[in-house]
């Protein structure tokens, strides 16, 4: 079975776009690698949240609920 891949889409942001693009790419790669290493899991739900405390502090969280 081919593993599920993730692509995170976003719009906006107040930090330089190249920095935010790097954050998104790193998170996408982490999720894709994790899912490839766990091919037998069954994804139940995926939730995403983000926050920005200041220009230098950005938090993007992806929660994957699985069995």
pLDDT, tens digit, 9 for 90 and up, residues 10-55: 555 555 667 777 877 888 888 888 888 888 888 888 888 877 666 6
For the four alpha carbons of 20, 22, 25 and 27, in that order, the dihedral sign comes to negative
pTM: 0.66
Buried b (16+ CB within 10 A) or exposed e, 42-65: eeeeeeeeeeeeeeeebebeeebe
Q: How far apart are the first and last CA of the chain?
A: 16
Q: Given pLDDT bands bounded at 50, 70 and 90, which one contains residue 65?
A: confident
User: So what's the pLDDT on residue 2?
Assistant: 65
Cβ-contact 39, 46 below 8 angstroms: no
Q: Is 53 helix (H, G, I), strand (E, B) or coil?
A: strand
């Amino acid at each position: 079975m081919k593993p599920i891949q993730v692509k995170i889409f976003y719009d906006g942001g107040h930090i330089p776009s190249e920095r935010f693009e790097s954050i998104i790419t790193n998170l996408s790669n982490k999720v894709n690698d994790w899912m490839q290493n766990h091919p037998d899991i069954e994804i139940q739900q995926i939730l995403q949240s983000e926050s920005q405390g200041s220009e230098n502090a950005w938090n993007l969280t992806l929660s994957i609920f699985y069995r």
